[in-house]
Amino acid sequence: MADPRGFLNIRHRETQPRRPVPLRLLDYREVSERQRAGTLQAQASRCMDCAVPFCHQGCPLGNLIPEFNDLVYRQRMDEAADRLLQTNNFPELTGRLCPAPCEAACVLGINQPAVTIKQVEAELAGHLLDAGAFTPQPPARHTGARIAVVGSGPAGLAAAQQLTRVGHTVVVFERDEAPGGLLRFGIPDFKLDKRVLERRLEQLRAEGTIFRTGVNIGVDVGWDELRRDYDAVIIAIGAGVPRDLPVPGRELDGVHFAMQYLTDSNRVVSQARRSPRIDARGKHVVILGGGDTGADCLGTALRQQAASVTTLAIGQQPPAERGPGHPWPTVPPLFEVQSSHEEGGQRSYLASTVRFNGRQGRVIGVTVAETEFVAGSRLPKPGTEKLIKADLVLLALGFTGPEKAGLDEQVSIDFDNLGNVARDGYYHTGADNVFAAGDAGRGQSLIVWAIAEGRSVAAAVDRHLQGHTMLPAPVAPTDRAISIM
């Protein structure tokens, strides 16, 4: 423990600075800026090096948090970054995108603001990028085994890197024109500069991982054909089926799933497309859903110069602080002000959508009512309806599971009662040599869980093929975060 009184001397929590709102709305550059070294050192000193560090429980990857905090305080950044890479393949991604369940489990958080663990991780990832430390680690020998990974999101990439490094030949199939999955096409550049993703993909290629893009498994290549050509197949296609809202007017032009809007915008930003197909410029935008995807839509619409943006959530506004119903170390639902919320727009809670209003086949408004709770259900309260003007409506209501195209017919994959790919305690599906990891088997979850499952399925596949493995398996398929129902 570097500073035994650090958490007593420094009680305030200071996170990374953000670029001024008027400037960042002019471009899609990352909002967050680097933190000064002195501030980072001071914040890391608040880590108490607990006898039982519950931050380990909060992090599915098992990151060595007290160790790298101590090293950052001692200004030994290279060693701290090495500690982080021992458990996390992609800290440059989690440092930007993970909501940090480790901080909810921080022991200091019982009676003080938690240690800025995510910020320390982000700065360590920045240190690695600055130092050009994404050094390829090709295997010393090759096993001769061939493994297909379907899907190039965080779970697929983590599994591919782990398996490539122990000597297997790994081919990653991606149906889009470039690898990355939602990291590339779903996350806006103001949260994740795609050059960061490209740096990591360069490392994977140099290590020997092969990428086949523009290939839709189940359509262009059959799942049965893939199983014949490879010794093992890993399903890492995510949970890409969006949750719909079947209310009157859903068929109107101008009502879109949020991910359709975000992927369209990301292709324009990357110059893969000249102009957006779904454009918020000059329009009154209504976003249904108050989560991360809704916030991404908000920031994107503001950058496209929307006339107004309103975000509607059906539930109550979360509290600002942890309540008695969500005791430490559970992850509490808290009112969050993301960078997009700082930039503009209005947020409304307890708003139930009644119908989409239209004229000549196009949406012109959303009728909403106050939400009331009846027998455990959220229903529109009669007599409270009002009309909100809308030229563009974005459904950011979450996801219901993986796309089943070809899986049930070609591989006879079973699905659980939530629509996810069923698997046993070793990530194995009911089909021979077919495994599943990430959101495809877990359901919609966090990036840190996806990477943890990618590492774990790699260990399972390596053991299946070789009879043993030295690869770590941080989580089991049945593991879940501690929560209060």
Q: Which of 66, 51, 63, 56 is nearest to 3 (CA)?
A: 66
Residues 217 and 226: their CA atoms lie apart, in Å, by: 8
Q: How many CB atoms lie within 10 A of CB 33?
A: 10
Which residues does residue 171 pair with via DSSP β-bridges, in sequence order?
148, 210
Whole-number percent of the chain with pLDDT over 70? 99
List all residues 6 or more positions away from 6 whose beta carbon is below 8 Å from its beta carbon. Answer: 42, 45, 46, 47, 48, 73
Residue by residue, pLDDT tens for the chain (485 residues) are 568 888 989 989 999 999 999 999 999 999 999 999 999 999 999 998 898 999 998 999 999 999 999 999 999 999 999 999 999 999 999 999 999 999 999 999 999 999 999 999 999 999 999 998 899 999 999 999 999 999 999 999 999 999 999 999 999 999 999 999 999 999 999 999 999 999 999 999 999 999 999 999 999 999 999 999 999 999 999 999 999 999 999 999 999 999 999 999 999 999 999 999 999 999 999 999 999 999 999 999 999 999 999 999 999 999 999 988 899 999 999 999 999 999 999 999 999 999 999 999 999 999 999 999 998 899 999 999 999 999 999 999 999 999 987 888 888 899 999 999 999 999 999 899 999 999 999 999 999 999 999 999 999 999 999 999 999 999 999 999 876 65
CA angle 215, 218, 222 (to 5 degrees): 95
Residues 473 and 433: their CA atoms lie apart, in Å, by: 18
pLDDT of residue 117: 97
Amino acid at 197: L
Backbone angles phi, psi at 104, to 5 degrees: -65, -30
Torsion-angle region of 305 (φ positive above 0: left; ψ -120 to 50: alpha; else: beta): left
Tokens of 309: 């943006």
List all residues 6 or more positions away from 140 whose beta carbon is below 8 Å from its beta carbon. Answer: 167
Q: Which of 363, 28, 406, 2 is nearest to 188 (CA)?
A: 28
Kindly report whether the global pTM for this prediction surpasses the value 0.85. Answer: yes
Strands (E) located in 35-160:
146-150
Angle between helices 292-303 and 258-269 (to 10 degrees): 50
Angle between helices 194-207 and 154-165 (to 10 degrees): 30
Locus of tokens 């990352």: 30
pLDDT of residue 458: 98
Look at the chain and count its residues.
485
How distant, in Å, are the alpha carbons of 113, 128, 159, 170, 181 from that of 209?
42, 21, 11, 5, 16
How distant, in Å, are the alpha carbons of 10, 56, 408 from that of 76?
21, 21, 51
| Diameter over CA atoms, the chain | 71
Give yes or no for a contact between 109 and 103, defined as CB atoms under 8 angstroms apart. yes
